[in-house]
Amino acid sequence: MMLSRASKYAILSTLYLAEHANENRKISVKVIAESIDVPSPFLAKLFQQLVKGKIISSTKGPNGGFYLTKKNQKKSVLDIIENIDGLIKINECFLGLNECDGSNPCPVHFIVERFKNSIFEKFRDKNIMELSEEIVANGRKLTLKDISPEV
Task: Give the separation between CA 22 and CA 28, rounded to whole angstroms.
Answer: 12
Interface with DNA, residue 1, by CB under 7 A: no
Give least dist CB 81 to DNA, A.
12
Q: Which is nearer to a copy of itself, 1 or 129 (CB)?
A: 1
Instruction: State the binding partner of 58 from a copy of itself, DNA, none, CB within 5 to 8 A by kind.
Output: DNA
Instruction: State the binding partner of 111 from DNA, a copy of itself, none, CB within 5 to 8 A by kind.
Output: a copy of itself
Helix (H, G, I), strand (E, B) or coil at 2: coil
Interface residue with a copy of itself among 43, 50, 112, 128 (CB under 8 A) is 112
Compute how many other C-beta atoms are within 10 angstroms of the C-beta atom of residue 50. 25
> Which residues between 22 and 81 bind DNA (CB under 7 A)?
27-30, 38-42, 44-45, 47-48, 51-52, 58-66
Instruction: Say if residues 66 and 29 touch (Cβ distance below 8 Å).
Output: yes
Q: Which is nearer to a copy of itself, 63 or 104 (CB)?
A: 104
Transcribe 88-113 into DSSP letters. HHHHS-TT--SS-BTTB--TTHHHHH
Task: Give the separation between CA 83 and CA 128, rounded to whole angstroms.
Answer: 14
Compute how many other C-beta atoms are within 10 angstroms of the C-beta atom of residue 138. 7
Q: Which residues of the shown chain bind a copy of itself in the complex (CB under 8 A)?
A: 1-3, 5, 8-9, 11-12, 94-99, 104-108, 111-112, 114-115, 118-119, 122-123, 131, 134-135, 140, 142-147
